[in-house]
Amino acid sequence: MYKKGLPDRRLIRVRRRKKVPVILYVTAALIAILFLIVLIALAFNQDDDKLVSSADLTTLSASSTETTETTTTTTDSTATSYSTAATSNATIESAAVPVSDEYFDDACFIGDSRTQGLMMYSSPEKATFYAIRGMNVASFFNDKAFEKKTMTAEKMLQKKKFGKIYIMLGLNELGWTQVDSFIKRYGELVDSVKKSQPDAKIFIQSILPVSAAKSKSHPSFNNPRILKYNRLIYDMCVQKKVIYLNVRKSVEDKKGNLPAEATTDGIHMNKTYCDKWMDYLRMHTEVPVATPTTKKTTETSSTETTTITEPSTTQTTQATSTTNSGTFKGIAV
């Protein structure tokens, strides 16, 4: 029995026992919350790792693709550089913008009767022409055909300074028996022009083709021989570090001949085709000097085997001439 006035200790004990589970519950709840927080944090870290891995894979894939593309591009570039050496000016042509006639105000054109045709039909107004029928790489030095037959073409170039020099010679030399003498003399001509025009840009033009008929009927004036001469001219341009313009492309047909519609004699061109020639010159003003890597440019026309048609021999005369390069029989043009 308990005495009156004393506290009921059992009751107190019971109350204390009831408080213990509450603390445990709170503690357990806190632990659970902390555990959840840890789990959530771990889950986020795993997601981040996945994202990083995914990004890394994407980057790696892109890098691999880029490497493959670079390798392919490099290979293609090498192949293109090798296989299209014959058409190395293609990029220049596609990007070229034609110049106006003012560009040719300080230009001088040197050549034979074909260049005379260019002067007659398509010449820029202020361009200078030292062109005569029958001019060749020897007569450039020797024939007094200018200034009332008192000056040679070489001397005329020494009188006036030009910014550009366009030269087309070689057609009248197709009949020369000593081909090496032709190209040697052509090189000397370029040296002379460089000396008298040290600041000029020198353009050496390929020999234009003749018609199919003319090529088939003439032993010297034929397109296979013209191609042979153009290769020699190109090599000379490489040696002399001057520009080679493959102007024959502007007028030849798919077989490498001068189209029948372009000419009445198989050699000289009408206005339409002189305009094509001049348009080519307008489009090809920023051309690099000839290099060995682009040698094939001159080696291919549309074909090396030409089919030829019949022309008249209007404006042409048979000529026999003796020069320091030997005797030749051909047509003076």
Residue range 311-333: mean pLDDT, rounded? 43
The pLDDT > 90 percentage for the chain reads 58
Helices 271-283 and 113-122: angle between axes, nearest 10 degrees: 90
Residue range 128-149: mean pLDDT, rounded? 97
What's the pLDDT band for 33 if we cut at 50, 70, 90? confident
What's the pLDDT band for 25 if we cut at 50, 70, 90? confident
Burial environment of residue 221 by CB neighbours within 10 A (0 to 12, 13 to 18, 19 or more): buried
Q: Residue 166: which residues within 8 A CB-CB, separation 6 or more?
A: 107, 108, 109, 110, 111, 203, 205, 281
What's the pLDDT band for 187 if we cut at 50, 70, 90? very high
Can you spell out the DSSP letters for 22-70? HHHHHHHHHHHHHHHHHHHHHHHHHHHHHHHHHHHHHHHHHHHHHHHHH
- Lowest mean pLDDT segment, chosen from 113-117, 148-152, 279-283, 291-295: 291-295
d(CA 238, CA 236): 5
d(CA 333, CA 331): 6
Report pLDDT digits (tens) over 188-241.
999 999 999 999 999 999 999 999 999 999 999 999 999 999 999 999 999 999
Tokens of 262: 């372009």
Report pLDDT digits (tens) over 58-110.
443 444 444 334 333 333 433 333 333 344 444 444 457 899 999 999 999 99
The sign of the CA dihedral 170, 176, 177, 182 is: negative
For 102-332, CATH number out of 3.40.50.740, 3.40.50.1110, 3.50.30.30, 3.30.70.100 equals 3.40.50.1110
Q: What is the pLDDT of residue 333?
A: 75
Please give the radius of gyration of the chain, using alpha carbons only, rounded to the nearest integer: 42
Q: What is the pLDDT of residue 37?
A: 85
What's the pLDDT band for 248 if we cut at 50, 70, 90? very high
**How are the residues of the chain apportioned to helix, strand and coil, as percentages rounded to the nearest 5?**
55, 15, 35
| Beta strand residue intervals within the chain, DSSP E | 107-111, 128-131, 164-168, 201-205, 243-245, 317-323, 326-332
